[in-house]
Structure 1
Amino acid sequence: MQRLPTPPGEWHDRADDSGEPPYTAAATVSAQGIVTGWSEGARRLVGYEPPQVVGRPAAHLLADALGESVPGRDRWSGSVAVRHQNGSRLRLRLLANRRTHAGQAGEWLVVCAVAGRPSRPAAETPGEWMFTQSPCGLALFDADLRLVRANAAMERALGFTETEMRGLCLPEIAPHPTSEEAHSRMRLAFETGEAQYLQADVRPATASGLQQTQLTSLAPMKDPDGRVRSVCLAAHHRAQALPARQHTVLLKEADTRIGTTSDIARTAHELADASVPPLADFAVVDLFDGPGSGAEMPPAPPAGGVTLRRTAVQSVLDGCPESVVATGETTAYPALSPVARCLARGRGALYTTADLAVARWAGEDPQAARIRQVGTHSLMVVPMRSSDNTVGVALFGRHRSPEPFTPQDLWLAEQLTARAAAGIYGARRHVREHTTTMTLQRSLLPQTLPDQAALEIASRYLPAGSRAGVGGDWFDVIPLSGARVALVVGDVVGHGIRASATMGLLRTAVRTLADVDLPPDELLTHLDDLVIRLSSDAAVTGGAAETAGGVGTTCLYAVYDPVSRRCILARAGHPPPAVVTPGGAVYLLDVPAGPPLGLGGLPFETIETELPEGSLLALYTDGLLEVRDRDIDEALDKMFAAIAQPAQTPESACDRVLAALLGHRPDDDVALLIARTRALAPDRVAAWDLACDPADVARARRLATDKLADWGLGDAVFVAELMVSELVTNAIRYGRPPVQLRLIHENNTLICEVSDSSSTTPHMRRARIFDEGGRGLLLVGQLARRWGTRHSLVGKTVWAEQSLSGEPSMASAVASLL
């Protein structure tokens, strides 16, 4: 018959009878009483293989009903009769901890120490008295890091008796990440023979593991030959002074605990939490203005009384009775108070409540009176300074600890507050920069979309919600000659003011280049040259070329003509636009993917496509599709589904796209431009071929006059005749055939265009008194709302737009020429 291990309840009498090394049997049980884990030690002890136990009720393993009830408790220990796999009974002493693991709240970890349980030495010596009666928690662990001894203080801290814990490792007694770290440090102490230190304190019986507030030492215990036999864990008493090593540990820990976010209030709370209770019994953090403010702080506050805002309070006492001011409220410090004096001097100071300055302060300020009422005997006042700016003050006090603050404590407090001040100052600077960038960004983006008839347009811009800040995404709508409209969307690399400024430069450049009617590919080529020059200037001045010059910036430029319903597009590393036909078909336009701006030497290509009237054209930046937890194909499918739904206006289409793709503030900027195409009716356009003969100017005037009469524009005939006469005369005199006249009636605008095959550009000049010519273009410029020249592959077109509302009189035009 198989020999069973000795029941743990008897191991303290027969520790070595089994002849096998000690091990731990462990199992996990869900809140519903189902076995979810079964260790190799449990298999050795009880005989069941994991598939025989896991997934079954734990009660099936019991030989007798469980006498104790554990609902509502987090820890339990006791003796239980268990049925072995061969049918025999085992009396086991178990220890159980409730924990949350792998998302299973309320799971129990049940452990049992098996074999080799060491016995306690029985000798009563002064050394034994010191061990058992020490106010510090002491525990001794053997070579396998299993508990051998624990004094009364350690029993109170861990919540179990020595008998219940003997033979178990610390993580098995108190499952907790800090226990795991202490276990690793014990192993290191055993292997190296050097003491280890942990910034941790043993928690009370209601908590699990170790609390990171006090110094815990792990010392190797050596025999006379110098060999390490065991490790002693000592949780030092709260009353003893912080040694230099503990200062170092606390500062190292503060680096990871203070200033973890750009939230000002949270940083203040982190400072208070890191200081109480390791350094002080209570801490108060007051700042010069409220959390989230980006106001500039003076290098040093002026002498006199100061008003601060209470931002964080922490205390070892429930309810923080030391503070009479609630968090978020303001508090005023008198001119002669220790706080005002330390702020004026810019350095910290130590005080006792018996000092005259504190007594006088208590008579003037209820806050100081309350501090004295709770029994505070020692105070530290430390200004919070960073980059020669004072952001606030921290006040530390002791009333439960009998030791007064020392200069070493003041040095430690100054180090902690300096870390917090740096985080707060950086957060305020981030708020200021974010506000400035947002203001600059919004001022550089179009405030209103221009009035034009070719497209019905809606736009959206969403700044990034991440800490990186506002980026350089932008869009624009630019009316062109001949009733055409240019749409542009771009994305400047980087974030912050520099990216916004670069965006403004590029948007201005695009508008300037669009005014001379450059084709999309040529416009992107000029824009590429500009980015290269900006990058070169940044490199010369020591700036970062990638961010200052905008290398890697993307851009999409499209020109739509409502007369021909054709759209010409080119892109520089930008995502292609999406099109929705009136029939509901959705697709991406196959625009050749040019390189991002700033690389140079690579050409850009255009594509020309015809868009049926009523089509939707969607231009966007990559922030719309690059959403966390979603790949690009899924994002495209969602966008297609959103814009394919029937929409009454582009405005509703924009809202639907953003709702489908962005459930939260985007990680990157998002610019979205959706346009519905319109077509100019054929009867609103008239074109005639003219002979290259001065005699044909009269025919051109007559044709224009007749067409305006057909359109019911009799009031515009006089000015239109003058413009047609001047433009046609110039084309015949200085240009080359063929010559063509075209009139376009677009809402309240009459457009006159004269084309010829010459590439010579006309220039306006002021004629002298006795000159016989030179007044034609000057007259056109005075009569037209705007005029210009655009070039094509076979020549040029000179155009002029005449407003049909508020048209100037001939008298005023002539008077302006004189």
Structure 2
Amino acid sequence: MANLSERGAAGEVAVILLDRAGVVRRCSRTAAELLGYTAAEVCGRPVASLLEDPSPPSRGPIRFRHGSGGLVELSVAEVPLEGSSEVVLIVTPASEAGVWEPSSAFLHALLAQKQLGIILFDTELRAVHTNGTPGMYGWPPLRVGDHLADVISTDDASEAEGRLRRVLETGVAQVAVEQRMRARDASKRERSFSMSAFRMEDERGRPTGVAALFIGNTEQWRARRRTEMSHEASAVIGGSLDVTRTAQDIASVLVPALADMAMVEIADPVLEGDETPKGVFPGSSWSLRRVAVASAVGPWPVELLPVGAVVPKLPDTAHVRRAALHGDTVLNTTRREMADLFKDPELIRSMLPAKGHSAIVAPLFARGHLLGFVVVWRTEQPEPFEQEDADLLFDIAARAALSLDNARRYTREHRAAVALQQRLLPRAITRTTAAESAGCYVPAGGGADISGDWFDVIPLPSLRVAFVVGDITGHGLHAAATMGRLRTAIHTLADLEFAPGELLSHLDDLVQQLAEEADPHLKDTIGATCLYALYDPVTGTCSLAAAGHPPPAVIRPAGTGRLITVPPGPPLGVGGMPFEVTTVDLDPGSTLALYTDGLVHARSGDTDGGIRELLHRLSSLCRHDETLKDIGQAVMAELTETPSRDDMALLLVRTQRIPASDIADWTFPDDPAAVADARKAVARQLAAWELDHMAFTTELIVSELVTNAIRYAGGTVGLRLFRDDATLVCEVTDGSNTQPRLRRARGGDEGGRGLFLVAQLSKRWGSRYHQTGKTIWAEESTTAASAQDTALAAVWDSATL
């Protein structure tokens, strides 16, 4: 018996193909080597000429005549090809007969399975033999002479034939490659196969075709696809705290992986951040609104309910009510069944896709509250939804409902924070005699985050005005609340007429106090930067002090801009450091720009570069005579295309001066006789201003203030009158820092009634201090002067009692 070590490459299959006459038509190289011949020597010979016994059994050990002259015992498994008279002999050494005997029976059983297909292709990839039968793959069988493209889609056929062609050209087998196939006919049924292929050769070793084995794994493929979609849903859904965005993520995950169309409908209270009542059916006290859709077959059909539309009231049936009120049911239904529920033709048209044939409706249920529904349809995929699909959608909807509920809670908190901040911020546009202003604010994250950036415009006595911009450390409701406390404190300190540096020192003490009151783990998050500017329209000067804040910019009326050098100082809350004051002159019509660092960082990662870019942009806009509102909106619009990581606040101020013709100044010596001179000077000026009707009250106010300055302060006394359209201001300046106090004089007192009279005759009065001396001021309303004159007698009587 020949030495079996002469067989070919180990592991290759030894195959002999016989025609109906028993003549060898094909022979694998391994089979020829087992017989001791070449493939060319075997092909064309009757198989009986190779046998010791010309009539052997069709299976089991058989003795063959070896090419060396001896005998070799081989085990043979005979496999007929269905639909053909040819027979395949699978040959193996008799020593392996224990393997091939049961393998032959297994092969016969395997070929009978509908999930297994064997196709022999020629070199043109036309089918030569196949065991396919009608209905085996869910589409017409592949017949002899057909290409794969004759029964499956062109794309799938091109992919499969590309793999078969590589096997034919290289001889390298393809083993267990996943191949998706969709039917070419109208059913478009989709299947997945594990495809293995190897090259067939003739007696000279030339390729004669490809043998392909297809094992159906559609169910495993679908299960794997469901698992992948579940993982994708976990990764995608919940990445946003916006209810609408979360709903769109749900729809996008489901299409086209599970369905051809998806729609997500959310209860109106959820969109507002509120909870839906438990146990209340949709439509009875609240409505559903379609907030997200997805389609795998093009744009959303115009006849269907669009995004933003209110969903008509759902039919109140038993299974729909269970889904709505308990969240424990998923409806797997057909279009006809749903049409029977809706009944109204217009409702059917707007709610049910024309080509939809299978649907699943899953409730979005969280913490006992119904948030909405997810509805998916199959219109192009021919297979109806299976129970596994319904279970998958139910699981995704259950997890998505928690994400929606988190987004709803965030919406509620965000709405509260926005409302708080809007209440805390001043009006965006203000107009005073000193200046007009326009403020802009954009929260971080495109409005998703709320923080403590703020701006403020504070009208002060003597027609002066203060401008403030600040930035609280951190984000959220706590930052907004801290901002509100600081803004209130600044208003109080500004009304006390502190200089900018002194005001920031008091504010620094307050921030340190807030840090002490905070929880220990939040103490380091309490802080702020701030810039405070005080503008006097009489002198045209602006005094500024900064606490760790970027420098302001000023653009002259001609459009040239520059930065105002203000010592930055430490941020508020550091303590122990003074805040230096810078004073500059501003031309009438100049534009002052105060901003937070978020506006700078949004333009450039480099702080200095961002400030220069902002200054250049503001200068360009001011040269075009734009309004302050338009300038602010233009600057912000350039930076809000992508959400910023920090808040952005901008306050633009266009300064004005009181005309010299509306200002009068006098200086009087330390002499009681100067009081009469002061009264005469005031009377002449009021006559020049055509304010004679205010002469009596104004003279009385000036008389009392100048008298007090001469009597208690000593030294030279300054008197200044100035006005705008509605207010007349009287200021008396002396060299004393003594605080004037208002008191009610007793009947026997000879004095003490002067400030009482000033308070009664003026709209308001007060004092402010300088490095040396003080100024006492009083304001009168020019429109209410006649009424004051009429009441003067009563005031005088009251003061003399």
Q: TM-score, normalised by structure 2?
A: 0.66
Q: Mark the CA change 1:714 to 1:371 in structure 2 (over 3 Å): closer, same or farther.
A: closer
Corresponding residue number in structure 2 for 1:417:
397
Per-residue CA deviations over 1:655-701 (Å, capped at 9, x if unaligned) read: 3475367425262323231323426427723131331x555433433
What pairs with 1:478-497 in structure 2 (closer than 5 Å)? 478-497=458-477
- Classify 1:608/1:270 alpha carbon distance in 2 versus 1 (closer, same or farther; 3 Å): closer
2:255 paired with 1:286: no
TM-aligned CA distance change 1:253 to 1:517, over 3 Å:
same
What is the DSSP-based 3-state SS (H/G/I as helix, E as strand, rest coil) of the residue aligned with 1:251? helix
C-alpha displacement of 1:398:
7.8
Equivalent residue for 1:258, pick from 216, 237, 241: 237
* 1:368 to partner: Cα distance: 12
Matched, 1:267 2:246: yes
More displaced, 761-770 or 334-343? 761-770
Aligned residues of 1:335 and 1:341 also touching (Cα < 8 A): no
CA contact (8 A) 2:545 2:567 kept: yes
Q: Is the alpha carbon distance of 1:803 and 1:14 closer, same or farther for their aligned partners in structure 2, counting shifts above 3 Å?
A: farther
Residue by residue over 1:235-281, the C-alpha shift from the partner in whole angstroms, topping out at 9 and shown as x without a partner, is 974445965x8765443221223244455455334324434566567
C-alpha displacement at 1:286, in angstroms?
A: 2.4
Q: Are residues 393 and 695 of structure 1, via their aligned partners in 2, closer, same or farther at CA, if it must alter by over 3 Å?
A: same
What's the counterpart of residue 598 of structure 1? 573
**Partners in 2 of 1:626 and 1:300 — Cα distance?**
47
Question: How far 1:432 sits from its partner (Å)?
Answer: 4.5
In the other structure, the counterpart of 1:158 is 159
**Distance change (3 Å), C-alpha of 1:527 and 1:768:** same
Question: Which whole-Å CA distance do the structure 1 matches of 2:442 and 2:292 have between them?
Answer: 33
> How far apart are 1:633 and its partner, in Å?
4.9
- Corresponding residue number in structure 2 for 1:728: 706
- What's the CA shift string for 1:529-562, capped at 9, x where partnerless? 222333333326x8x4566x4x1x2211112233
**Equivalent pair of 2:453/2:470 in contact (CA under 8 Å):** yes
**Structure 1 residues 562 and 363: CA distance shift in structure 2, 3 A:** closer
Distance in 1, matches of 2:624 and 2:335, equals 75
**Aligned position for 1:533:** 513
Q: Which residue of 1 aligns with 2:714?
A: 737
Residue 703 of structure 1, CA deviation = 3.6
Contact 1:136 / 1:237 at 8 angstroms: preserved in 2? no
Contact 2:501 2:545 in 1 (8 A): yes
Q: 1:392 deviation in Å?
A: 0.2
Change (3 A) 1:650 1:529: farther
Q: Map residues 697-712 of structure 1 onto 2, 5 A cutoff.
A: 697-712=675-690
CA contact (8 A) 2:593 2:650 kept: no
CA contact (8 A) 2:569 2:579 kept: yes
C-alpha distance in structure 1 between counterparts of 2:89 and 2:249, whole Å: 48
For residues 488 and 243 of structure 2, the distance between their equivalents in structure 1, rounded to whole angstroms, comes to 37
**CA 1:354–1:488 in structure 2 vs 1: closer, same or farther (change >3 Å)?**
closer
Equivalent of residue 602 in structure 2, options 621, 624, 627: 627
What SS does the corresponding residue of 2:653 show, helix, strand or coil? strand
Alignment of 1:475 with 2:476, yes or no, is: no
2:321 matches 1:340? yes
Residues 467, 410 of structure 1: alpha-carbon distance in 2 compared, 3 angstrom cutoff: farther
Shift in CA distance, 131/510, structure 1 to aligned 2, threshold 3 Å: farther
CA, structure 1 residues 235+643, in 2 after alignment: closer, same or farther (shift >3 Å)? farther
Which secondary structure state, in structure 2, belongs to the residue aligned with residue 341 of structure 1?
helix
Q: Which residue of 2 aligns with 1:393?
A: 373
CA distance in 1, matches of 2:179, 2:516: 58
Matches within 5 A, 1:9-48: none
Show the counterpart of 2:772.
794
- Among 412, 425, 431, the alignment partner of 1:445 is 425
1:557 equivalent in alignment to 2:558: no
* Structure 1 alignment gaps of length 5 or more: 1-12, 16-120, 139-150, 170-182, 187-194, 207-212, 220-231
Shift in Å, 1:375:
8.9
Distance 1:218 1:256 in 2: 32
1:579–1:315: structure 2 CA closer, same or farther, 3 Å change rule? closer
Is the partner of 2:654 in helix, strand or coil? strand
Alignment-derived partner of residue 580 in structure 1: 555
Q: What displacement does 1:587 show?
A: 1.8
Matching residue within 516, 520, 544 for 2:500: 520
1:293-442 to 2 correspondence within 5 Å?
293-294=271-272, 296-303=274-281, 307-312=287-292, 325=305, 328-329=308-309, 330-349=311-330, 361=341, 381-386=361-366, 388-395=368-375, 406=387, 412-442=392-422
Deviation at 1:513, TM superposition (A): 0.8
- CA distance in 1 between counterparts of 2:492 and 2:218 reads 73
Aligned to 2:518, the other structure's residue is in SS state: helix
Secondary structure of 1:678's match?
A: coil
Alignment of 1:681-696 (within 5 A): 681=660, 684-691=663-670, 694-696=672-674
Greater Rg over alpha carbons, structure: 2
How far has the Cα of 1:380 moved from its partner?
5.4
Q: Does the aligned pair in 1 maintain the 2:304–2:352 contact within 8 Å?
A: no
Aligned residues: 634
| Runs (5+) with no aligned partner, structure 2 | 1-26, 30-87, 92-103, 119-146, 185-189, 197-211
What are the Cα deviations for residues 371-410 of structure 1, in whole angstroms up to 9, with x where unaligned? 8997967x7543213355421022457897879755x766
RMSD, aligned CA: 5.0
Contact 1:456–1:650, Cα closer than 8 Å, also in 2: no
The CA distance in 1 between the partners of 2:688 and 2:484, in whole Å, is: 45
Distance 1:371 1:558, change over 3 A: closer
SS at match of 1:625: helix
CA shift in 2, pair 1:753/1:771, >3 Å: same
SS in 1 for 2:577: coil
